[in-house]
Amino acid sequence: MSTDSDPPATPVIPSRIRLARDLRGLTQQQVVAELGGSISPPALSQIEAGKFRPSDAVVKQLSAALNVPQSFFTAQWPSENQAATYFRDLRSTSARDRRRAGAQALILSNFITALEQYVRLPEVSVPSLPRELDAGRDEIEHAALTIRQSWELGSDPIPHVVRELERHGVAVARLSLGNTAIDAFSTRVGHRPLVFLTDDKNDNYVRSRLDASHELGHLVMHQTVEPGTKEVERQAQDFASSFLLPEDSARLELPSRLDAAGWSQLAEAKRTWGMSMAALLFRARALRMISADIYQSAMRYMSSKGWRTQEPGDREMGAPESPLLLERSVRQAEIEAGVSVESLVNSAHLPLDDIFDLLETSVDERPIIEL
């Protein structure tokens, strides 16, 4: 089949074919196999490079093979380019998984743009506080404290971290990527920052809160730095600890000795501040409340008890925090404007199944009890 005869009336945007392929995590060879060999891998490569215009027949085949509408390849989108995406560890995250995650962020951003034609989402109020790669702990502490002050959180425990992000204009979604190497990631596509939390490790409440705070650190401090370096990830982790537990409160709440009373105090701090004991020990070490030797000894003790996998009290803390903003906004658009999810997705020329997956995974199906 020719790739340059009978070209479609609306030219295909070559990068969209690669984007659809990234969404499915497929190589060019795998896509060609899905097409039954009607085009060759070099031909597909030429199409993605914009050197050949595919025919209507080929576009139709690509649409079916990649499970996206044909208009996905031709429509003009408000958000077109993928921004830098921050992952916890680039070494354990394959390039294919990173591209897939970035593609999901791009389609979610364009869905949100379509949604915002009918509902007004919270204004983005995430201050930009850039930090150099050699920034010290005091600078990171100051960034976290500034966000707490800006968001009027005081020095108290944060009841719901995800809700604070959403309240200040960050779109949060949960994903099931089928990859346990990815804890969470964040990016900015268009004007609205995005945070994705994953379900692939059966995450618990305290871990999810730390992940969300970690990604907030990237959004606040790392808009212009290269993602994935040890320095960048260390800063985000330091920010998360400081954001969840300010220094003044930490010095009052955390033990300086790890005898029986100290471990009991640590367990109580976990319940109060919604942080794991491991994260609290990390915080105590960063503040030099305990020495590096005591910290390492505590980690060995936790390993011997099996607490590095599941700590005491994890189950009692409940399910991870769930996003609410997108679900509620979609419902409001349907109620107030009579616009269904399907029509929103179709108007944005996006794959319906992917948007449904994003919305459904993000929903907490437990009934809400209002008092």
Q: Are residues 116 and 239 in the same domain?
A: yes
Give yes or no for a contact between 163 and 316, defined as CB atoms under 8 angstroms apart: no
pLDDT band, residue 201 (cuts 50/70/90): low
Give me the half-sphere count of Cα atoms (radius 13 Å) on the Cβ side of residue 361. 19
Print burial letters for 281-294: b (CB count within 10 Å at least 16), e (below 16). Answer: bbbbbbbebbeeeb
Q: Would residue 330 count as lying in a domain?
A: no
Q: Would residue 232 count as lying in a domain?
A: yes
Residue 95 confidence (pLDDT) above 50: yes
Give yes or no for a contact between 190 and 109, defined as CB atoms under 8 angstroms apart: yes
Q: Are residues 224 and 95 in the same domain?
A: yes
CB pairs under 8 A, 24+ apart, for 273-276? 273/157, 273/244, 273/245, 273/249, 274/157, 274/158, 274/161, 274/205, 274/206, 274/209, 274/244, 274/317, 275/206, 275/209, 275/210, 275/241, 275/244, 275/245, 276/206, 276/207, 276/210, 276/311, 276/314
CATH label of the domain that carries residue 188: 1.10.10.2910
Mean pLDDT of 67-94: 75
pLDDT band, residue 71 (cuts 50/70/90): very high
Q: Are residues 238 and 94 in the same domain?
A: yes
Q: Would residue 3 count as lying in a domain?
A: no
Q: Are residues 196 and 282 in the same domain?
A: no
**How many domains does the structure of the chain reveal?**
3
pLDDT band, residue 179 (cuts 50/70/90): low
Q: Are residues 255 and 192 in the same domain?
A: no
Rounded to whole angstroms, the Cα distance separating 180 from 198 reads 9
Cα→Cα distances 283→67, 83, 122, 247, Å: 46, 31, 32, 9
Higher pLDDT, 130 or 371: 130
Q: Which of 84-93, 98-107, 235-244 has the highest mean pLDDT?
A: 235-244
On average, the pLDDT of the chain sits at 88
Rounded to whole angstroms, the Cα distance separating 260 from 96 reads 47
Q: Are residues 182 and 271 in the same domain?
A: no
Q: Are residues 175 and 311 in the same domain?
A: no
The domain boundary, picked from 188, 210, 244, lies at: 244
Q: Would residue 333 count as lying in a domain?
A: no
Q: Are residues 229 and 101 in the same domain?
A: yes
Identify the pLDDT of residue 1.
37
CATH label of the domain that carries residue 43: 1.10.260.40
pLDDT digits (tens, 9 = 90+) for 108-121: 999 999 999 999 99
Q: Are residues 276 and 224 in the same domain?
A: no
The domain boundary, picked from 244, 271, 299, lies at: 244
The domain boundary, picked from 288, 317, 346, lies at: 317
Residue 157 confidence (pLDDT) above 80: yes
Higher pLDDT, 367 or 128: 128
Q: Are residues 238 and 255 in the same domain?
A: no
Q: Would residue 353 count as lying in a domain?
A: no
Identify the pLDDT of residue 2.
34
Rounded to whole angstroms, the Cα distance separating 89 from 227 reads 9
Residue 69 confidence (pLDDT) above 70: yes
pLDDT band, residue 45 (cuts 50/70/90): very high
Q: Would residue 56 count as lying in a domain?
A: yes
Q: What is the pTM of this model?
A: 0.89
Q: Are residues 208 and 60 in the same domain?
A: no
Rounded to whole angstroms, the Cα distance separating 256 from 278 reads 15
Tokens 């070490």 identify what position? Answer: 285
Range(s) of the domain holding residue 252: 247-317
Identify the pLDDT of residue 262.
95
Q: Are residues 275 and 169 in the same domain?
A: no
Identify the pLDDT of residue 361.
61
